[in-house]
Structure 1
Amino acid sequence: MKTILSIKNLNKRFGSLQAVKNVSLDIQKGNVYGILGPNGSGKSTTLGIVLNVVNKTSGEYSWFGGTMQTHEALKKVGAIIERPNFYPYMTARENLELVCKIKGINNVKVHEKLELVGLLERENSKFSTFSLGMKQRLAIASALLNDPEILILDEPTNGLDPQGIHQIRDIIKLIASQGTTILLASHLLDEVEKVCSHVLILRKGEVLYSGRVDGMSSNEGFFELQCEDSSNLKAALLQHPAVDKITEENGKVLVYLKTPLEASKLNRYLFEKNISLNHLVKRKNSLEEQFLELTNNK
């Protein structure tokens, strides 16, 4: 699969603050990547570095397998990393035609991109009359005028109402379905879960997780147990080599694992120690539980 962007051990320091610490990520063609983390986690700084607007302290990144210089590669990249900035007295169409003129792109794409973001009916309306969501959709249309191989979005739904958020997410999914690779930064787990195939989770500039979104919760599981003698149960569990830690919640013992363990094998192990369970359920952490555990405990 073609590598669009490769980031290796990227670091950025602002004085005493290390905003990005050893971040590595490979972005393959055709996927939707999310950089997820709380505000101040280094998401925007990472995007700024690869877009050549922030200088890195150390580390490397290369576009399209390193076959071209960054300034040439960026001609194949569409990006929105700040609030939309168009002329308020000009119409949607006029603003996009101006972008085409500046970038040396044929105007023929304007109609197609306005239709893609659902603004064709408002093509002759002035930008000043647009809602925040419509302004964001026009910005996406603008970033797509050169048919980029990758679209980069920094907090694309920030400040939007629920309808605006829904529209932007639908547009992102539509763009991805047409084969454009997408990289978006967000502090919203819900956003990444709904639109991304892969995620890089950052906290204070450090990578906490990198991989498929559905892989975040698939490897993590825990047992929910209950029996008459919980003290004996806990003592036996702590002796099992697969058990990482145990906690109690609402009268049930929660068992977290460090290596995979089948429910039947755990049940047999406890039965051999004369512990009879009246409740045994294997549960998986939700993506939200995983995210909170990662970002709160590190």
Structure 2
Amino acid sequence: MEAILTINNLTKKFGYLTAVKNLSFTINKGNVYGILGPNGSGKSTTLGIVLNVVNKTQGDFHWFDGTISTHDALKKVGAIIERPNFYAYMTAEQNLKLVCRIKGVDYAKIDEKLEIVGLLDRKTHKFRTYSLGMKQRLAIASALLNDPEILILDEPTNGLDPQGIHQIRQIIKNIAANGTTILLASHLLDEVEKVCTHVVVLRKGEKLYSGRVDEMINSHGFFELKADKHEELLRVLEAHNTIDKVKVEDELITAFLNAPMSASEFNQFMFNQNILLSHLVKRKESLEEQFLQLTDQQ
């Protein structure tokens, strides 16, 4: 696959604090990548380094095939890593004309990009009249003006209401569907699960996981269980070779599977052990459960 961005053993220290530690991963063309981690995990620092606004301490990175300078490579990158910064007294169209002049882009691109973000009918309205969600969408239109090969977004839905969040996520999906590679940083598991094809999980600047989202959550699932014979049920679960681990919260027992097993098959097994289940639900493990398991192991 064609690599858009390759990061090798990247480290960034701020005095005694190591914000990013020996980080390596590759962004391939045509995918939507999420850098996932809590605040302070090194997501924004990583983006700042590859966008040449933060100096690295060690390691290296290169754009595309590595034969062009970072300065020239960034002409093929669109990025929003801070709050949208436009002139409040100017219209959306006037603001984007300024960006076109800076980037050397034809004004003809403006309507096309405003159409993508659903703001074409508001192009003559002043920026100060825009909601926070509209401001964010205008920023995305601005980042798309030079037809970038990759769009980089840092916490794109931060501070938005549910409708604004939905609109931004749908726009990201539509842009990706048209072939633009996307890299977004987020602390929202839900966002990465709904929008991204690949994920890099960071904690305190270190990579915990890198790969496809569907592979990360491609577990055999788990059972949620209750029974009057609580202690007996726990003993049977701990002896069962298909049960990977057991978690107990009050009366609810969660049993994680390490091999396929249907709920009816499991229910029959318990019945044969003379345990009648008062509650049995089989669920697929979410990205949240996988993320918590990853971070618990650290």
Q: TM-score, normalised by structure 2?
A: 0.87
Matches of 2:136 and 2:177, distance apart in 1: 20
Residue 221 of structure 2 is matched in structure 1 by: 221
Structure 2 Cα separation of the partners of residues 244 and 173 of structure 1: 35
Give secondary structure in 2 for the equivalent of 1:11: strand
Counterpart in the other structure of 2:16 = 16
Give the aligned partner of residue 133 of structure 2: 133
Aligned counterparts of 2:130 and 2:281: Cα–Cα separation in 1: 52
Aligned to 2:102: 102
Aligned to 2:91: 91
Distance (Å, rounded) in 2 between the aligned partners of 1:124 and 1:45: 36
* Contact kept? 2:270, 2:276, Cα under 8 Å: no
SS of 1:199 mapped into structure 2: strand
One-letter amino acid of the structure 2 residue matched with residue 200 of structure 1: V
Partner residue in 2 for 1:198: 198
Matches of 1:134 and 1:223 in 2, distance apart? 43
Within-5 A mapping of 1:241-256: 244-249=244-249, 251=251, 253-256=253-256
Aligned to 2:118: 118
Post-superposition offset of 1:242: 6.0
Q: How does 1:126-205 map to 2 (within 5 A)?
A: 126-205=126-205
SS for the counterpart of 2:65 is helix
- Displacement of 1:70 in angstroms is 0.9
- One-letter code of the match for 1:129? T
Q: Deviations over 1:7-62 (max 9, x none)?
A: 12221111111111222221111111111111111110010111111111112211
SS at match of 2:164: helix
Distance (whole Å) between structure 2 residues aligned to residue 166 and residue 225 of structure 1:
34
Q: What amino acid does structure 2 have at the position aligned with 1:166?
A: H
Cα distance per residue 1:88-110 (max 9 Å; x no partner):
22211111111111111122111
- Offset at residue 73 of structure 1 (A): 0.8
Q: Which amino acid aligns with 2:276?
A: N
Query: In structure 1, what residue type is equivalent to 2:22?
Result: N
Deviation at 1:282, TM superposition (A): 5.1
Give 3-state SS (helix, strand or coil) of 2:20's partner: strand
CA RMSD of aligned residues (A): 2.7
Q: Cα gap change, 1:248/1:2 in structure 2, threshold over 3 Å: closer, same or farther?
A: same
More deviation in 168-177 or 226-235? 226-235
- Following superposition, the deviation at residue 3 of structure 1 comes to 1.1
Structure 1 window deviating more from structure 2 (74-83 vs 162-171): it is: 162-171
In the alignment, which residue of structure 1 is the partner of 2:290? 290
Give the match for residue 27 of structure 1.
Answer: 27
Q: Distance in 2 between matches of 1:130 and 1:227?
A: 55
2:32/2:181 contact within 8 Å kept? yes
Among residues 276, 279, 290, which one is paired with 1:278 in the alignment?
276
**Residues 42 and 230 (structure 1), Cα distance of their counterparts in 2 relative to 1, 3 Å cut:** same
Distance 1:104 1:173 in 2: 27
CA deviation after TM superposition for structure 1 residue 65, in Å:
2.2
CA distance in 2, matches of 1:131, 1:251: 46
Q: Paired residue for 1:209?
A: 209
One-letter amino acid of the counterpart of residue 84, structure 1: P
Q: 1:268 to 1:128 in 2, by over 3 A?
A: closer
In structure 1, stretches of 5+ residues that fail to align are none
CA 1:149–1:236: 2 relative to 1, 3 Å: same
Contact 1:226 1:277 in 2 (8 A): no
Aligned: 1:44 with 2:44: yes
Q: Return the letter of the residue paired with 2:24.
A: S
Deviations 1:189-239 (A, max 9, x none): 121122111111212112222222222221253345667765565456545
Distance 1:122 1:227 in 2: 59
Count of residues in Structure 1 that have an aligned counterpart in Structure 2: 295
SS in 1 for 2:40: coil
Tell whether the 8 Å contact from 1:4 to 1:28 is kept in structure 2 after alignment: yes
1: distance between equivalents of 2:225 and 2:124? 64
Q: Structure 2: give runs of 5+ residues left out of the alignment.
A: none
CA deviation vs aligned residue, 1:160-198 (integer Å, no higher than 9, x gap): 122222221111111111110110111111211221111
